[in-house]
């Protein structure tokens, strides 16, 4: 991967320049951006040139080291600055990564909203997106089983709009006041700060049992959605119910969806576990690599809309964040596209200091009474004060690209200098008057409670009390192998709970509310009494688009995928170069893995003369000990005498077995079939594919990915191969 990421700084700057006229946020950030790669000499923070940044000032007697002097203001400054480099990590979603991009509209939805960002089809709105995990701290691994954050900051002409979503459409709790309990329960336990980056522990599952409203979300978290292959290949959901207001003042309820153009794909659990150790930055690097290679990740923006007069037409409360709006009842309408096309220049001032705030909406978008959203609108602003200080909105990554001016002043680290003698309204100069209606101000929708008998109560509407119907709907909608993965995920999690109260209650009660078969399987795995009676009948309904298999791209694609090519001295150069070019032509990334990282020569001693590296041989991107099959989506092995070297090497044999076990495509030419057959045995059908225009060599393929039947035989296949 290093080869691809190298030079990122220059590329990022290039994009800033090229798109300067298009992307207002890039232009805005330029005024705070400097480049360390200049020959300017080092200075202290107050600008004085420094000649010795390496030694502390000392009182030195002849031939002695001498005492360090406190007087050294240069050394002290360096240490002081270092001592204070850290800020509090986010209380949740601490681990994340970000990128810049643009949002454009396919069609205006002016009948629903007067927000410019959702109506002006000529606009190219700059965005910054931060993806994250939830449970782990800043240094935890990327591929853990967890919800992923999908937070989008739109820098619109009317101000910032933060759509702070997740990759799962529902949430664990219905009331914001429950959020601290939930987060305490899922985070590492208080007595020993264990576990990191996992929900597999007593307290989380104890919480789940005691909160039936968490059941639906838990089904999603135990599904493949919680171990995405890439941030680029997951859906995003605003989760909460928002409101759109049109120019006539009519309001509609809305849910926002992001749908990835590459489809929705996941890792298998064994890969996720291994990757957490082999490459804890797997998702972070994957995103940067794709953008550096100009395979820009794209999502469609979809909306589901419910007119105000239909809000009571559903069996669930449309403000309940533990429920989806099934698409057969409320169709999804695609209206725009998000593209990520620029990597960050520096992590801390951009990804770490970016601060999202659900209460940041623009005119035309408003809040519903969704109780979670109302609580979030308080929490995000508050948490940014604790992380970044009261002037957090002045930071370059957070400031809007439209004019911003008011009488808010002062506070720690104020940057802005405002001229003039007044800082209050009204004032004798009429300085900074409130916006007139013509200036498009934000106006809160004049919602009437409509209830003469309004009373203050700590409660939710009755429909909020139904917790199992959609959990069943989700489970019913999974394919057989997705269900199988859920059984295994529950087995793994509950195996990490050593308190019988926790796993027995879960299997014997909570899961029986969803599906008896599911509960029985899990109970057997984790050693709980096996339940014999369903607690409620399964309503049998399905919603196909809850299964991620429904999100396969209409034309199968390998765009943006990483494909390993295994070689040793004596590989077939025609097959090697032919396939490498074909992979590139299809928008995927060939990564050469060799027996060593020094030059490797093709059969006959040299590469073809057409190759620029013919005399030097091929220098692989990695040697086999530096990477593992888990880092790639498929593997190709050219034929040639080098196969004999690979066959003798246990690690290459394991590579083949593991790739097969993880249901990924294996391909080869000529003698590569010997290696595939040697490792995979007669159980596996090694097929010969005819040469095509893009793959102009005859090659063997063991296609293990994509098919449901194959997915079901995953465990079996893997076991056979381990033995081989
Ligand atoms: Fe958050 N959440 N949350 N959350 N959340 C935070 O804000 C909170 C909720 C989500 O990349 C915090 O800046 C409350 C739902 C994302 O910087 C904090 C409740 C959804 C991110 C906070 C929720 C989310 C956060 C911590 C009510 C999906 C990361 C740091 C129950 C729609 C944003 C921060 C980033 C971050 C509070 C529930 C998504 C403490 C009170 C539902 C993606 O303010």
**DSSP letters spanning 244-287:** EE-TTS-EEEEEEEEEETT---B--HHHHHHHHHH-TTHHHHHH
Which atom number of ligand 1 is nearest to the Cα of residue 149? 43
d(CA 375, CA 384): 15
Strand segments, DSSP code E, in 182-247 are 236-237, 242-245
- Which protein residue has the closest C-alpha to ligand 1 atom 41? 376
pLDDT for 356 equals: 98
Q: Is 270 a residue whose pLDDT tops 60?
A: yes
Share the mean pLDDT of the chain: 90
- Tokens representing 438 are 């013509």
pLDDT class of 12 with cuts at 50, 70, 90: very low
Which atom number of ligand 1 is nearest to the Cα of residue 90? 30
Using CB distances shorter than 6 Å, the residues near ligand 1 are 90-93, 96, 130, 132, 149, 151, 164-166, 171, 173, 176, 179, 239-240, 321, 355-356, 372, 375-376, 379-380, 383
Q: Is 540 a residue whose pLDDT tops 70?
A: yes
d(CA 490, CA 200): 9
d(CA 552, CA 184): 37
CATH topology of domain 478-551: Hemocyanin, N-terminal domain (1.20.1370)
Which atom number of ligand 1 is nearest to the Cα of residue 171? 42
Distance from the CA of 205 to the center of ligand 1, in angstroms?
A: 21
pLDDT class of 559 with cuts at 50, 70, 90: confident
- Tokens representing 539 are 């309503």
Q: Is 114 a residue whose pLDDT tops 60?
A: yes
Beta carbons within 8 Å of 487's beta carbon, 6+ residues apart: 518, 521, 522, 525
d(CA 121, CA 656): 49
pLDDT for 440 equals: 93
d(CA 3, CA 282): 15
Which atom number of ligand 1 is nearest to the Cα of residue 175? 31
pLDDT class of 585 with cuts at 50, 70, 90: confident
- C-beta atoms surrounding 523 within 10 Å: 23
- Tokens representing 541 are 């309904």
- Which protein residue has the closest C-alpha to ligand 1 atom 43? 149
Q: Which of 93, 211, 283, 467 is catalytic?
A: 93
3-state secondary structure 339-392: EEEEECCCHHHHHHCCCCCCCCCCCCEEECCCHHHHHHHHHHHHHHHHHHCCCH
Question: 255, 353, 358, 379: which to mutate for ligand 1, most atoms within 8 A of CB?
Answer: 379
Q: Are 709 and 668 in contact (CB under 8 A)?
A: no
pLDDT class of 305 with cuts at 50, 70, 90: very high
Q: Is 10 a residue whose pLDDT tops 50?
A: no
d(CA 622, CA 567): 11
Question: 164, 167, 360: which to mutate for ligand 1, most atoms within 8 A of CB?
Answer: 164
Beta carbons within 8 Å of 405's beta carbon, 6+ residues apart: 432
pLDDT for 315 equals: 96
Average pLDDT over residues 262-272: 94
Checking DSSP bridges between strand 148-156 and strand 125-133, what pairing results, if any?
Answer: antiparallel
What kind and span of H or E run contains 648? helix 642-648
Q: Which of 166, 240, 377, 476 is catalytic?
A: 166
Q: What is the pLDDT of residues 214-247, one digit of tens each?
A: 999 999 999 999 999 999 999 999 999 999 999 9
Write down the domain spans for the chain. 2-58+69-83, 96-203+224-394, 478-551, 562-723
Cα–chain-centroid distance for residue 693?
A: 35
Q: Is 606 a residue whose pLDDT tops 60?
A: no
Distance from the CA of 165 to the center of ligand 1, in angstroms?
A: 8
Which atom number of ligand 1 is nearest to the Cα of residue 94? 30
pLDDT class of 720 with cuts at 50, 70, 90: very low
Q: Is 404 a residue whose pLDDT tops 70?
A: yes
Q: Is 141 a residue whose pLDDT tops 60?
A: yes
d(CA 481, CA 132): 27
What kind and span of H or E run contains 219? helix 215-221
Average pLDDT over residues 15-42: 80
Q: What is the pLDDT of residues 44-93, one digit of tens each?
A: 999 999 999 999 999 999 999 999 999 999 999 999 999 999 999 999 99
Which atom number of ligand 1 is nearest to the Cα of residue 238? 32
> Order of strands across the sheet with 699-702?
622-623, 589-594, 562-567, 634-637, 665-668, 699-702, 687-689
What kind and span of H or E run contains 673? helix 672-680
Please state which architecture CATH assigns to domain 562-723: 3-Layer(aba) Sandwich (3.40)
pLDDT for 683 equals: 60
pLDDT for 615 equals: 60
Distance from the CA of 555 to the center of ligand 1, in angstroms?
A: 35
Phi and psi at residue 676, to the nearest 5°: -60, -45
Closest CA to 249 of 452, 449, 448: 448
pLDDT class of 702 with cuts at 50, 70, 90: low
Distance from the CA of 621 to the center of ligand 1, in angstroms?
A: 39
Identify the three-state secondary structure at position 393: helix
Q: Is 716 a residue whose pLDDT tops 70?
A: no
Question: 367, 376, 392: which to mutate for ligand 1, most atoms within 8 A of CB?
Answer: 376
pLDDT for 447 equals: 84
Phi and psi at residue 194, to the nearest 5°: -130, 145
d(CA 446, CA 528): 54
Distant-in-sequence contacts of 659-662, Cβ < 8 A, 24+ apart: 659/629, 659/632, 659/634, 659/635, 659/704, 660/684, 660/702, 660/704, 660/717, 660/718, 660/721, 661/270, 661/714, 661/717, 661/718, 661/721, 661/722, 662/268, 662/270, 662/271, 662/629, 662/630, 662/704
CATH number of 96-203+224-394: 2.40.180.10
Question: Longest C-alpha distance within the chain, in Å?
Answer: 91
Cα–Cα–Cα angle for 513, 516, 519, rounded to 5 degrees: 85
Q: Is 380 annotated as ligand-binding? A: yes
pLDDT for 665 equals: 82
Average pLDDT over residues 159-170: 98
Q: What is the pLDDT of residues 644-662, one digit of tens each?
A: 999 999 999 999 999 988 8
Q: Give, rounded to a whole angstrom, the gap between the first and last alpha carbons of the chain.
A: 30
Q: Is 422 exposed, middle or buried (0-12, 13-18, 19+ CB in 10 A)?
A: middle
Q: Are 561 and 588 in contact (CB under 8 A)?
A: yes
Q: Is 684 a residue whose pLDDT tops 60?
A: yes
Distances 33 to 17, 144, 179, 644 between C-alpha atoms, Å: 12, 34, 38, 53
Phi and psi at residue 586, to the nearest 5°: -85, 10
Which range (495-509, 532-546, 548-562) has the least confidence? 548-562
**Backbone φ/ψ region at 141: left (φ over 0), alpha (ψ -120 to 50), beta:** beta
Distance from the CA of 244 to the center of ligand 1, in angstroms?
A: 22
Average pLDDT over residues 307-331: 97
Which of the pair, 659 or 720, is modelled with greater confidence? 659
For the question of residue 84 being annotated catalytic, the response is no
pLDDT for 554 equals: 81
Distance from the CA of 410 to the center of ligand 1, in angstroms?
A: 27
For the question of residue 343 being annotated catalytic, the response is no
pLDDT for 667 equals: 85
Question: 93, 236, 254, 371: which to mutate for ligand 1, most atoms within 8 A of CB?
Answer: 93
Q: Are 570 and 602 in contact (CB under 8 A)?
A: yes
Beta carbons within 8 Å of 588's beta carbon, 6+ residues apart: 558, 559, 560, 561, 562, 563, 633
- Which protein residue has the closest C-alpha to ligand 1 atom 44? 380
Which range (36-40, 516-520, 552-556, 587-591) has the least confidence? 552-556
Total count of residues recorded for the chain:
724
d(CA 522, CA 491): 6
Distances 249 to 86, 156, 246, 360, 443 between C-alpha atoms, Å: 46, 21, 5, 20, 10
- Which protein residue has the closest C-alpha to ligand 1 atom 7? 380
Distance from the CA of 651 to the center of ligand 1, in angstroms?
A: 43
């Amino acid at each position: 991967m290093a080869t691809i990421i190298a030079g990122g700084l220059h590329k990022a700057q290039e994009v800033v320049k090229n798109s300067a006229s298009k992307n207002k946020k890039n232009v805005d950030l330029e005024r705070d951006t400097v480049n360390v790669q200049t020959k300017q000499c080092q200075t202290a923070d107050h600008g004085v040139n420094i000649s010795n940044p390496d030694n502390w000032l000392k009182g030195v007697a002849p031939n002695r080291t001498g005492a360090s002097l406190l007087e050294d203001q240069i050394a002290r400054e360096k240490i002081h600055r270092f001592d204070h480099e850290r800020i509090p990590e986010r209380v949740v979603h601490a681990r994340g990564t970000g990128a810049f991009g643009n949002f454009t509209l396919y069609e205006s939805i002016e009948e629903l909203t007067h927000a410019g960002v959702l109506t002006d089809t000529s606009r190219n709105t700059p965005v910054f997106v931060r993806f994250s995990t939830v449970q782990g701290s800043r240094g935890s691994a990327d591929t853990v089983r967890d919800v992923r954050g999908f937070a989008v900051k739109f820098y619109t002409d009317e101000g910032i709009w933060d759509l702070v979503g997740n990759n799962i459409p529902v949430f664990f709790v219905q009331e914001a006041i429950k959020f601290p309990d939930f987060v305490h329960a899922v985070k590492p336990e208080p007595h020993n700060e264990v576990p990191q980056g996992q929900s597999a522990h007593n307290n989380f599952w104890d919480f789940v049992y005691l909160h039936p409203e968490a059941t639906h979300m838990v089904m999603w978290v135990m599904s493949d959605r919680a171990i995405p292959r890439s941030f680029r290949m997951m859906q995003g959901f605003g989760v909460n119910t928002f409101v759109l207001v049109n120019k006539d003042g009519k309001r509609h309820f809305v849910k926002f969806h992001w749908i990835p153009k590459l489809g929705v794909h996941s890792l298998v659990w064994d890969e996720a576990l291994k990757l957490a150790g082999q490459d804890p930055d797997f998702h972070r690097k994957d995103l940067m690599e794709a953008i550096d290679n100009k395979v820009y990740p794209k999502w469609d923006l979809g909306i589901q809309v419910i007119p105000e007069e239909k809000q009571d037409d559903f069996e669930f409360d449309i403000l309940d964040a533990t429920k989806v709006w099934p698409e057969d009842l409320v169709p999804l309408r695609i209206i725009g596209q998000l593209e990520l096309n620029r990597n960050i220049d520096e992590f801390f001032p951009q990804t770490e200091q970016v601060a999202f705030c659900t209460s940041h909406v623009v005119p035309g978008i408003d809040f519903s009474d969704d109780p979670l959203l109302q609580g979030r609108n308080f929490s995000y602003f508050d948490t940014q004060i604790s992380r970044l200080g009261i002037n957090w909105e002045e930071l370059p990554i957070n400031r809007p690209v439209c004019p911003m001016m008011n009488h808010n002043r002062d506070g720690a680290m104020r940057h802005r200098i405002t001229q003039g003698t007044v800082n209050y309204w009204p004032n004798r100069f009429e300085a900074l008057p409130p916006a007139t209606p013509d200036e498009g101000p934000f106006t809160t929708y004049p919602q009437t409670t409509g209830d003469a008998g309004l009373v203050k109560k700590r409660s939710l509407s009755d429909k909020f009390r139904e917790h199992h119907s959609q959990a069943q709907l989700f489970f019913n909608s999974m394919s057989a192998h997705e269900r199988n993965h859920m059984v295994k995920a529950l087995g793994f999690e509950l195996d990490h709970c050593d308190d019988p109260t926790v796993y027995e209650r879960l299997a014997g009660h909570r899961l029986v509310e969803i599906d008896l078969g599911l509960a029985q399987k899990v109970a057997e795995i984790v050693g709980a009494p096996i339940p014999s009676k369903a607690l409620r009948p399964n309503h049998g309904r399905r919603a196909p688009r809850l299964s991620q298999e429904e999100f396969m791209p209409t034309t199968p694609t390998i765009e943006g995928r990483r494909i390993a090519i295994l070689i040793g001295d004596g590989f077939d150069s025609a097959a090697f170069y032919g396939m490498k070019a074909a992979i590139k032509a299809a928008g995927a990334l060939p990564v050469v893995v060799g027996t060593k990282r020094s030059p490797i020569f093709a059969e006959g001693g040299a590469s073809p003369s057409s190759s620029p590296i013919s005399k030097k041989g091929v220098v692989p991107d990695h040697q086999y000990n530096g990477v593992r099959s888990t880092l790639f989506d498929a593997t190709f092995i050219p034929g040639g005498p080098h196969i004999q070297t690979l066959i003798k090497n246990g690690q290459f044999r394991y590579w083949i077995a593991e790739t097969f076990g993880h249901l990924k495509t294996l391909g080869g030419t000529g003698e590569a079939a010997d290696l595939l057959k040697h490792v995979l045995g007669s159980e596996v059908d090694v097929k010969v594919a005819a040469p095509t225009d893009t793959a102009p060599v005859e090659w063997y393929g063991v296609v293990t990915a994509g098919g449901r039947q194959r997915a079901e035989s995953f465990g079996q296949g893997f076991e056979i191969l381990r033995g081989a």
